[in-house]
Structures are given as C-alpha cells and as structure tokens.
Amino acid sequence: MTARVLVVDDILSNVKLLEAKLSAEYFEVITAYNGLEALAKMDEHEPDIVLLDVMMPGMDGFEVCRRIKKNSKTAHVPVVMVTALDQPSDRVAGLEAGADDFLTKPVDDSALFARVRSLVRLKMMTDELRLREATGQSMGLIDPAETLADAAPTGRILVIEDRPESVAWFASALQPDNDMASVDMFEEALVRVRGGDFDLIVVSLGLRGFDGLRLCSQLRSLPEGRNVPILVVVSEGDRRKLTQALEMGVNDYLTRPVDKNELIARVRTQLRKKRYSDKLRHNMQLSLEMAITDQLTGLHNRRYMSRHLDMLISGAHKSSKPLAFLIMDIDHFKAVNDTYGHDTGDEVLREFAGRISANVRGIDLACRYGGEEFVVVMPDTDPEYAYTVAERLRREVEANPFAISRDPHKLNITISIGIAASDTASDSAEALLHRADQALYRAKREGRNRVIADAA
C-alpha cells in the first residue's frame, strides 16, 4: 500500500530520517518544519496521513492537530504524533487534540509502518464515502455530513474480557456516560454483535479462554460488525499481536497497564469517527434513494423504471412468465393546474401516487413517468389480472374525490389507463412502452375515464 505522508518536525535530521524510512517503504513523503507550513501543505498536497512532532517553536503540534481536525476538508485525515514526550498526560493531551495515535520516540519502525498502513486503510474507506457524498451534494440531493466535532460522544460499548476485575475497571471508566455490556465467551460475543447495534467493541488480546485475534477476524467478517470500530488491549511489548491486529483492520489499541484517561480519550475518538462514518453512509444511502425517487410523490422515477424494466422483461423471458405494463394519465390535469394552481396540482399528484401504491402489490414497480403520467410494471401477471387491477383503481379514483387544501377542498378526478403485456421472447422495453402508450391514447380518444388493453 502506498500513501502520501506529511512529516512535520522542526529538527531537520528527524525529518530526513523519517523521510528516508518512509520512502524505502514506497510512501510518498512531503515535509514541513513548522505548524504554519504544515497547515499550508495540508491544503496544497492533501496528504493521506500526518506524522506530527509536538514540541515546535511558534505553533506546537497540539494546536496544529486541533486546526487540522476543525477544518472540514482535513478533519478525516489521520494524525499520528511522533514525539519524545512520554508521559500519560502528554498522550491524553494529544488524543484530546484530535490525534489518532501518539507514539513516543524512539519508535520501532515495524510498529510505525503498521500503524501508518492501518490508518491509511481506514482513511481510504472514509475517502470513498466522502467522494460519494460529494457526488450527492453536487446533484443537490443531500447536505454534507458534520465534521468530527462532537467533543464528548457517547455510545453502546461491548467489552470482551474474561477477567472480572478488568471488566469492573472498564465499567468504572466508561459508565455511566456510555452504555456498556460485557461478555467472556467467543460465541456469545458473536451473538451479541449480530444483534447488539454497538458503537464500539473493546477486545482484550490476553483472553485466557480463546484467541482474541481470531475473534477480531470473525467480528470483521460479520455484516453487523464490519463498520463497528474495534479497540484492542495488548500487553506492553507484544508487537506481534498488535501488528496482526492492525493488519486485520482493528481501529485502535491500548497497552497494559491502561491509563483510564487515555482509554476515555481513545474511546471518544473512535465514537466520534463512528458517528461521522455513519452519517456519511446515511448520506450515501439517501443520495442513492433520492437519485431513483420522484421527490414529489415518493414513487420511483422514470430513470429507475427505464433501467429496471429491461431486467424485469429479461427475467420474465427466462421464467416464461407474463409481465404486464400499465401507463396511466390524470384526465384534464392541465385544467386543474390552470384553475387551482400548481400547488393544488401537486396535491393531486401526491394523492394519486398514494392510491396507486394502495392498489398494487409489493412486487409491482410503481413509478412517476413524467408530469401527470404514471407507470406500474407487474411481474408474473397476465393481461386479465392487470385489467382487473387497473379497472379497480379507475373506479376508486372516480368514486372518491381528491381532498385539497383550498376551495373547493375536494376535486372529482378521473384517469385513463393503457395496458400492454410482454409474453414473447422478442418483446423489448421500447416495444412494451409503445404498445401501452398506444392503448392509453385510445382510452383518451374514446372519451377518457376508461381502461384499454393493447390488442397485440
């Protein structure tokens, strides 16, 4: 894996040493020698990760980190503080400033590279979500997710530990701010994650009853655990387990003996990231839904129907089952808009969409085709049944006036419907649409408020 690394340190020899080591591992390295230069390089080069010294003249590393995390364009970029400071209070201060990790010099090369690769992998996942969110924003579909700004996030935490005294210690540190649960069995852990909707999982790698690394691997393979951050607890000096954990996608780690303030700081960091990632995924799903949904009626739009119809016809051909296609139009809809205004016209369209949804099956595809035209695609449906559904809908619309918000508060509406059926291998989406449209035209020509089935 390659990545662009920004190395920030005011001592030239430190910068050159890290640059040489990282370059030998095929990382692209950018360098800066003070805080202001680092912030400028962030904007100019868009690094994938920052290795940041703390003790620098002018603006120290804590302030640089805070500024990186406050900027919506750079808040998701991981920051690792690499410094000679070695007190727990220094580590906590770095984490509270927004750093993703705090490594004390001299840093073992393999441990540093494993951490850099781990954080870059996690950032790339976030980059993909951010890219899709940006697409949704450019289309005017969604607002951007908030940055990683929540100072004291809380959540549901699962602690996997088989030492009662350690479980009690975690509970004293994490509760009552967080909702904490604990398990001490392999299978029970999997069951809880499958149904627990947790925001963070803490796994002790010193478990006596089973292999904690194997559990982490299993948790990552579960759909419910794929996007839940995992924080492992390792014994000091156990670099093999730590490296393996980072390589399999663990998000963060603590070394024993664990400092309570560091635990809280790392938990908050992971919960903050989880909230941000969840919002990005929500925005992505929302943009996908909005891209295929008509915003006025909530039905699928024409773009979705056009792409989906080919698959439905192909499936009907393969299964030798019929497929029916209904196209319907609100009679004299222009007169509604001209007489009562477009707001009333929109109310009529929304009400009609609701009546369509109430009269078709879950397997049927209901779409707004455009204007006052609507389409229903009915898989595994012969023309006779389609006609029965269409006629039922026509009568329901005719018999029950549409409620509107202004005088006269009710409108009598009728509809015309054309039906076509696909029951031959030579049928295409275009041919089906054309035949249904011709049937609708006949219904209009013959007086409206009727259902006409294509005779082909």
Residues annotated as catalytic are 372
- Cα gap 387→56, rounded to integer Å: 79
State the pairing for strand pair 365-370/373-379: antiparallel
- What 3-state DSSP class applies to 419? strand
Count the helix, strand and coil residues of the chain and give each as a percent rounded to the nearest 5.
Answer: 50, 20, 30
> Which phi and psi angles does 301 have, rounded to 5°?
-95, 180
Q: Contact at 8 Å (CB) between 378 and 386? A: yes
Which residue type does 53 have? D
- Cα gap 149→130, rounded to integer Å: 16
- Cα gap 452→439, rounded to integer Å: 6
In order, the DSSP letters of 174-187 are HTTTSEEEEE-SHH
- Cα gap 84→63, rounded to integer Å: 17
Q: Measured between alpha carbons, how far is residue 308 from residues 97, 99, 312, 367 in Å?
A: 49, 46, 6, 11
Tokens of 330: 């609100």
Longest dimension (CA), the chain: 89
Q: Contact at 8 Å (CB) between 61 and 98? A: no
Q: Contact at 8 Å (CB) between 206 and 212? A: yes
* 51 bridge partner residues: 7, 80
Q: Which residues of 97-122 are buried (b: 16+ CB within 10 A; e: fewer)?
A: bbbbbbbeeebeeeebbbbbbbbbeb
Residue 335: name the closest of 411, 417, 440 by CA. 411
- Cα gap 301→343, rounded to integer Å: 20
